[in-house]
Structure 1
Amino acid sequence: MEFRFFLSVILLTASLSAFSQQKKSEPATDKGLIKVSVMYPFSEGKTFNVDYYETKHMPMVAGILGSNLVKYTIEKGVASGIPNQPLPFMAVGTFYIKSLSEYQSAITPKRDEIRADFANYTNVIPVILVSEVVR
């Protein structure tokens, strides 16, 4: 009985070790994608409705982007990276896309519709950064 238990522990440990090594050696799957970060700066008196953003706005934009969109993320700011400093951003929405030109072609005709929806969740003008994922 003890031998079976010991063997089970060894097999489980080997399986976990192999899984851990596989995770470390896997290449970054986002490498080469274009990342569009929509950042909402914090300042006193500014508001941001995360629930609306998550359930309405981001799915609407994701639908506009179609198959060019790989994934999107939503982040809610909680603190500054420097103690006792104000929060730099209330929220950040990020789209990972395959093609910048396809993104621009999809967004351009819908720009006014997207901007009109801002009033439903924030009174902040976002800062947008378009970058390429290196790692």
Structure 2
Amino acid sequence: MIKVSVMYPNSSDAKFDMDYYNSTHAQLVLDRLGDTLKSFTVDAGIAGGAPGEAAGFIAMGHLIFDSVDAFEAAFGPHADELLGDIPNFTNVQPQVQISEIKR
């Protein structure tokens, strides 16, 4: 199993519409990726590791797939639409990481 993490870095000039992301964009992701997507969670950053420290990321989406090939096959045909929706909820360039789930 793999996890695709889409992370939106926090900064003083970052704008992020969590309501849109959590409802409209997340639903678009679910609709387009279908049953190939095994699990999808949305996290909202609330704090950093030290008291009073801001969260390093405004939000993160975590998508679980059986394999990198399964992710690529599901995401590829919809990449333009999904990536094109990003400006509708943020001015932040997301960071993406693909990880192998070990436990």
Specify if TM > 0.5.
Answer: yes
> Contact 1:68–1:99 at 8 Å: present in 2 too?
no
- Cross-structure match for 1:80: 48
- What displacement does 1:109 show? 2.4
- Verify: 1:37 aligned to 2:5, yes or no: yes
Normalising to structure 2: TM-score of the pair? 0.91
Sequence identity (%):
39
- Matched AA of 1:85: E
- Cross-structure match for 1:64: 32
- Cross-structure match for 2:68: 100
- Cross-structure match for 1:22: none
Distance 2:28 2:66 in 1: 18
Bigger Cα Rg? 1
- Verify: 1:129 aligned to 2:97, yes or no: yes
- Matched AA of 1:80: G
Normalising to structure 1: TM-score of the pair? 0.71
Distance 2:62 2:20 in 1: 16
Q: Which has the higher contact order (CA 8 A, sep 6+)?
A: 2
1:112 corresponds to which of 47, 59, 80: 80
Distance 1:80 1:114 in 2: 28
Distance 2:70 2:47 in 1: 34
- Matched AA of 2:92: V
Q: CA deviation digits over 1:78-115, x for unaligned, max 9?
A: 00012343321000111111122121022122211111
Over the residues paired in the alignment, what is the CA RMSD in angstroms? 1.3
From the two aligned structures, give the one with the greater helix fraction. 1
Gaps of 5+ in 1: 1-32
- Verify: 1:52 aligned to 2:31, yes or no: no
From the two aligned structures, give the one with the greater strand fraction. 2
Q: Between Structure 1 and Structure 2, how many residues are aligned?
A: 103
